[in-house]
Homo-oligomer: A and B are copies of this chain.
Amino acid sequence: MYFTSEQLLDDGVLEREFTVGEIPGTLWIPASAGASGAAPVPLVLMAHNNGLPRTQSRLVARARHCAAHGYAVASIDAAGCGDRPRSAADEQARIELRRAMQAGEPVDEIFESFIGPLVEMAVPDWRTTLDALLTLPEIGGPVGYSGWTAVGIRLAVVEPRIAAAGFFAGGYVPRAQRDEARQVTVPLLFLLQWDDEGNPRERALDLFDSFGTKEKTLHANLGGHTGTPWFEVEDGNRFFGRHLK
């Protein structure tokens, strides 16, 4: 793991760019976490839905806010995600998915053929990154996860170090992850937008119903996909506060 740059932000958060092998990532961490005698801070892995870049402004705002509340927050561009190289076929599928969604056409098959493999490829990169981050003395367990529902389901099932997870949206989730949702047993905060144009509400509610965990909470707010109110970011921090501290 190599750190390639770092910047102290005005909220007392250190933003550190890193690479782990071919995986580029960003770590946001309270500047105070590195001080001698300071206790290690818990880690939250934050993934953006469907492989959007880790530099996207809404993800960065959430990550900084969470870090300012005493967490180490990490995001990566996993294989095929963010600015990582994509095959021409994936590029084409992404265009086709956007077109079909805007036209209101069924997207299940495009979604399955494109996002399914992306999730399979992304999860090993997240685990590799987790291994590397937990070697840093300023970061301790337990580990939380926040964001992209499909990757979060897979990670929560295969990765015993994940102790709590917050998922967003979840109307479209590959079949493999819908099927393994019942194997998720960690505490969950499931967040959805009531009028999310890209995530059918009934499917999201069905997915919430199917999680195997005994401790799950649903938060829903009026409005479209990008309209989540800011207080949900604070609620997410409080959720992690109950389970990671």
Contact = CB atoms under 8 A, between A and B. Distances in A.
Categorize the interface residue count of chain A. Answer: 20 to 34
Contacts of A220: 208, 217-218, 220
A215 interface: yes
Contacts of A216: 221-222
A209 B194 contact: yes
A242 interface: yes
A218 B194 CA distance: 9
A70 to B, nearest CB: 18
Interface string A202-214: 0001001100011
Interface string A229-245: 10100110010001000
Contacts of A213: 222
A200 to B, nearest CB: 14
A219 interface: yes
Give the top 7 A-B pairs by smallest Cβ distance, nearest first: A218-B220, A217-B221, A216-B222, A219-B219, A214-B222, A231-B242, A217-B219
